[in-house]
Amino acid sequence: MKEAIVLYPAATSHQMISMVELAKLILQHHPNISITILVAIMPFDTSTISTYISSISQTSLPISFLSLPQPSEDPPGPAAAATLGKAAFDYIRLYTPKVLDALKTISLTSTVLAFIISTFGITYDTPIPTYLYFTSGASSFASILYLPTIHNQTTKSFKDLPNNTPLHFPGLPPIKPSHLPEPLLDRGHPAYQEFFSLGTLLPNLKGMILNTFEMLEPQAIKAITEGACVPKGSTPPLYCIGPRIVDAKQRGASDDALSKCLLWLDKQPSQSVVFLCFGRKGAFSAPQLKEIAFGLERSKQRFMWVVRNPPPNSDTERDLEELLPEGFLKRTKERGLVLKSWAPQAAILSHQAVGGFVTHCGWNSVLEAVTYGVPMLPWPLYAEQRLNSVVLAEEIKLTPMPFLTEDGKGGVVSSEEVERKVRELMGLEGKGFRESSSMMKIMAMAAWTNGGSSFTALSKLVASWKQEQS
């Protein structure tokens, strides 16, 4: 029978894209392996995922998608899933018997070498070797692995600790409570238990796969592999196979959007443009948008800025003229380009005119900046981004300290602060970060040369699959 791998992403478009990228990486180096991706869709995300799957299916990639029947129970609403509510996790669990049925069906015609999942709190009773694919960095993963240990060091939720209380996670610099992802701050949050329960999943795993590379996060990777993050248990083998990024076309960039951005960048001097982009959910309040605008204007730097509608009605379309200070677009038109809602980020970062990146520090954005050697200025907003930004600044020394209000959230960063930090990043003060970013770009490329750390990790991963069958 043919050899196959089965991938099962969590029910979000982000996880689906990450799993497809993993599939393409495996096929690039081992083209004879058949890959099936199981599809479990949250009803509110059906259109996004279906469109993406359709685009991949139209390529020549030997990746097949198997849609799982939806559970008969009522699904959670978008709000429950967006906030990682209990209803969202419970709904994902309802797919478990359907996942096991799919694995049995695939096993009738294929030798399934591995089953790769991206969810924490769910175990699958299957003889197929199971691996966890964690799409964020090793530092974030180390903090989650260590959560049960640090949980027992206090009876309080992290949110109830003074914010200057240092939290010590193996492989990370001291972390303030406010730097942790919101679900980890409150022991009563439904997602807290899901992250906490990762420890119960570890004994069932044959390995853990991370989208990072050794020279980017050496301390966190060392802490995980040496067992420091799970001091009272065993740690499965770790395979760091990054950086793996998605290009603009794969993210759905239209030719018009690409052309507009690239034509404008083609007219700018080398490394002269600071690019501001904060992810699909990165929306600022109306007052903060105006402060950013005034800061950019006074900085006198060339810029490209992606602006999203402010919450709470961020899906309601509003004109840029309405969102930004009066006359701003006219006054800055010779040195700035403001884009509404979205931009082909990877294509922009790869352009020689871009010399700085103000980013929310989502892990994909971090890896794109690292891959293209663009120095970052962190402005974390949600999820693990505050943790990423602190690690980048204090452990890896790759960025300046992030934009953060006093409590790590809320409040408004002043235009003066925006002006100062942008000037420093793009000026003489940023020289060291430009040099560090250029060096990390070289290290990222070296990771995928023959004998490089990520190349070797993927080879060992595939070898472990073969060994299980022998």
Per residue of the chain (470 residues), give pLDDT as tens. Answer: 899 999 999 777 888 999 999 999 999 999 999 999 999 877 666 677 888 999 999 998 999 999 999 887 766 665 555 555 566 777 788 899 999 999 999 999 999 999 999 988 788 999 999 999 999 999 999 999 999 999 999 999 999 999 899 999 999 999 999 999 988 999 998 789 888 888 778 989 999 999 999 999 999 999 999 999 999 999 999 999 999 998 655 555 567 878 899 999 999 999 999 999 999 889 999 999 999 999 999 999 999 999 999 987 766 678 999 999 999 999 999 999 999 988 999 999 999 999 999 999 999 999 999 999 999 999 999 889 999 999 999 999 999 999 976 444 558 999 999 999 999 999 999 999 999 999 999 999 999 999 999 999 999 999 999 887 76
Predicted confidence at residue 45, as pLDDT, reads 62
Nearest to 7 by CA among 68, 50, 55, 48: 68
Beta-carbon contacts of residue 17 (< 8 Å; ≥ 6 apart): 52, 246, 250, 251
Contact (CB, 8 A) for 205 and 132? yes
Contact (CB, 8 A) for 135 and 363? yes
Predicted confidence at residue 406, as pLDDT, reads 43
Predicted confidence at residue 91, as pLDDT, reads 79
Contact (CB, 8 A) for 360 and 329? no
Q: Cα separation of 370 and 358, whole Å? A: 13
115: three-class secondary structure by DSSP: strand
Nearest to 239 by CA among 461, 413, 13: 461
Where do the domains of the chain lie, and which CATH numbers do they carry?
2-247+446-469 (3.40.50.2000), 255-445 (3.40.50.2000)
Beta-carbon contacts of residue 259 (< 8 Å; ≥ 6 apart): none
Helices (H) and strands (E) in the chain, counts: 21, 12
Beta-carbon contacts of residue 463 (< 8 Å; ≥ 6 apart): none
Tokens of 319: 């004109």
- Percent composition of the chain: helix, strand, coil (DSSP 3-state, to 5): 45, 15, 40
Q: Cα separation of 212 and 366, whole Å? A: 10
Phi and psi angles of residue 249, each rounded to the nearest 5 degrees, phi first: -65, -40
Q: Give the end-to-end CA distance of the chain in Å, rounded to a whole number.
A: 14
For 348-376, b/e burial (b = at least 16 CB within 10 A) is bbbbebbbbbbbbbbbbbbbbbbbbbbbb
Beta-carbon contacts of residue 74 (< 8 Å; ≥ 6 apart): none
Residue 343 is classified by DSSP as: -
Contact (CB, 8 A) for 313 and 333? no
Nearest to 225 by CA among 238, 215, 212, 213: 238
Predicted confidence at residue 319, as pLDDT, reads 92
CB count in 10 Å sphere of residue 167: 18
Predicted confidence at residue 432, as pLDDT, reads 98
| Conformational region of residue 383, where left means phi above 0, alpha means psi within -120 to 50, and beta covers everything else | left
291: three-class secondary structure by DSSP: helix
Nearest to 322 by CA among 299, 300, 293, 297: 293
Nearest to 48 by CA among 80, 8, 17: 17
Rounded to 5°, angle at Cα 231 from 146 and 120? 40
110: three-class secondary structure by DSSP: strand
For 79-100, b/e burial (b = at least 16 CB within 10 A) is ebbebbbebbbebbeebbebbe
Q: Cα separation of 234 and 107, whole Å? A: 29
Predicted confidence at residue 239, as pLDDT, reads 99
Q: pTM for this one?
A: 0.94
Q: State how far Cα 229 lies from the chain centre.
A: 21
Q: Cα separation of 335 and 99, whole Å? A: 53
Q: Cα separation of 213 and 455, whole Å? A: 10
328: three-class secondary structure by DSSP: helix
Predicted confidence at residue 312, as pLDDT, reads 79
